[in-house]
Amino acid sequence: MGLKIESFKPEESEEHKKRELNLFIENMDLILENSHKILSCGEYFHCKFSFAYAGTIYLGGGYIPLGVLIIGRQEGILRDKCLYCNKETFWIMGFSGGFSFGSKWGVCEECKKFVVTNCKPSDYIEIWQKIVPIIHSYPSWQIVEVEKEVAHFSWLKGIVYKKKKVKEKIDFYESVKLQELVRELRGEKKRKCKELIHSFKTPTLKNLLLKRKAW
């Protein structure tokens, strides 16, 4: 198997990213006060936004769901010293890198600034090793085999339909957008949450490295 080079970059525009970042910073205290609620609600847990992602060239990447950001913060994996206020309140929300370079970014809870720092590859690889298994242990979708009528062409009968087993991706939740989350946490709208699915079959790091897939 050859070495696959894959990187992940959100498709949203810079404008959108800026808007989401401002919304997040304005409501960071509200989000943190409601950590417990977010960690028990599938739709909230899997809220994804444009600046929270991993985009490592050799290890793959993807969005980091809000619930995983909160767990990583609580466990100290996504914490660092802020460049501006020097306090240990930099909440890492994304990272990227290659063989000889790396960077981490996020928001400081104290001075409310967006922080970007360069780091050694070993730094972001360490975060990757701790965070990716958490992401995989809270799946938001599943591949299932379903029987479907599939159209076939026959020289004798023209188009005929045959039953065939096909693989389909099923999403467990309709994850909320950041804007919706904020509105609901403020109590402007109510939601009946789906219970969060936790898989205990967390893949090993070796398996994750072999797959190198976006999650």
Which of these ranges, 56-64, 83-91, 156-164, 191-199, lies near Zn ion under the rule CB under 5 A? Answer: 83-91
Q: What is the size of the binding site for Zn ion (CB under 5 A)?
A: 6
Q: Does 25 bind Zn ion (CB under 5 A)?
A: no
Compare residues 84 and 141 and give the one whose CB is closer to Zn ion.
Answer: 84
Nearer to Zn ion, 6 or 110 (CB): 110
The distance of closest approach from Cβ of residue 55 to Zn ion in the complex, given in angstroms and rounded to an integer, is 24
Tokens standing for residue 4: 């696959």
Output the CA angle 143-7-28, nearest 5 degrees: 85
**Cα separation, 83 vs 73, whole angstroms:** 18
Using CB under 5 A, which of 59, 68, 69, 82 touches Zn ion? 82
Q: Are strands 60-63 and 79-80 parallel, antiparallel or unpaired?
A: unpaired
- Whose Cβ is closer to Zn ion: residue 48's or residue 73's? 73
Nearer to Zn ion, 17 or 113 (CB): 113
Q: How far is the CB of 107 from Zn ion (least distance, A)?
A: 9
Partners of residue 96 on adjacent β-strands: 55, 103
* Residue 123 touching Zn ion (CB under 5 A): no
Does 110 participate in binding Zn ion (rule CB under 5 A)? yes
Using rule CB under 5 A, residue 111 touches Zn ion: yes
Backbone angles phi, psi at 11, to 5 degrees: -85, -15
| Residue 116 interacting with Zn ion (CB under 5 A) | no
33-59 as b/e: b if 16+ CB within 10 A = ebeeebbebbbbbbbbbbbbbbbbbbb
Residue 100 · residue 125 · CB < 8 Å? no
Interacting residue ranges for Zn ion, rule: CB under 5 A: 82, 84-85, 108, 110-111
